[in-house]
Structure 1
Amino acid sequence: MSRGPDAATLLRRALERDARTQGCAITIGTVHSTRWASATFVGAQHRLTLDAPDDAALAHWLGALAEAELTLRGHLVADATVTALARHGECAEATIEVLTVEA
């Protein structure tokens, strides 16, 4: 029996959906996830890299990402942070780190 997509897949889909609704065209490249646990929570830390046109839509989306309501079935987004942004002409590459916890 399939348990459905994992947190990393759900996160990827949620980020793509959120960016699209903000008019931002992103392409997610690498996704690295590591299981994480505290005394009270279990989840994962995710590091994603993405490419996008370096425009106002990207700046707005990245600036609002920490407060975005990302919906992941069975998981909550506890923290989302842009940790790197490199500009290459008209393109940009961003690194995003996200902490998810199992709901």
Structure 2
Amino acid sequence: MSRGPDVTTLLERRLLLAGQAGGHGITIDGIESTPWASATFNGARHRVRLAGRATAELEAWLQALPEAELPLRGHLVADLALLSSETDGDRLCAEIEVLTVEER
């Protein structure tokens, strides 16, 4: 019996859907995930590199991303931070950090 996709895959899919819903054709250029735990929660910390066509709208979407709802089956997005964003020609590259915790 399959348990379904892991949290890293769920996060990647949700970010792509959120970008698409905002009208931004973003790509995920890489995700690095490491397990994370506190005294009461288990989860993972994810560093995500994404890119898209450099527009003011994409930059605004990235700035608003920390407040966005990103539902993930069996997990909660506990924190999301925009670490960096830079334009290289007509391409905007950004790095975000996301903390997910398992729902109980």
TM-score, normalised by the number of residues in structure 2: 0.95
Q: Across the two proteins, how many residue pairs are aligned to each other? A: 103
CA distance, structure 2, for counterparts of residue 3 and residue 19 of structure 1? 26
How many percent identity over aligned positions?
53
1:13 corresponds in structure 2 to 13
1:41 corresponds in structure 2 to 41
3-state SS, counterpart of residue 82 of structure 2: strand
Gaps spanning 5+ residues in structure 2: where?
Answer: none
2:88 corresponds in structure 1 to 88
Cα deviation, residue 57, structure 1 = 2.1
Q: Which amino acid aligns with 1:51?
A: A
Cα deviation, residue 2, structure 1 = 1.3
Question: Is the counterpart of residue 51 in structure 1 residue 37 in structure 2?
Answer: no
1:101 corresponds in structure 2 to 101
Gaps spanning 5+ residues in structure 1: where?
Answer: none
Deviations 1:10-33 (A, max 9, x none): 000111111111111100011100
Q: Would you identify which runs of 4 or more consecutive aligned residues in structure 1 move more than 4 Å? A: none
RMSD: 0.8
CA distance, structure 1, for counterparts of residue 12 and residue 57 of structure 2? 19
TM-score, normalised by the number of residues in structure 1: 0.96
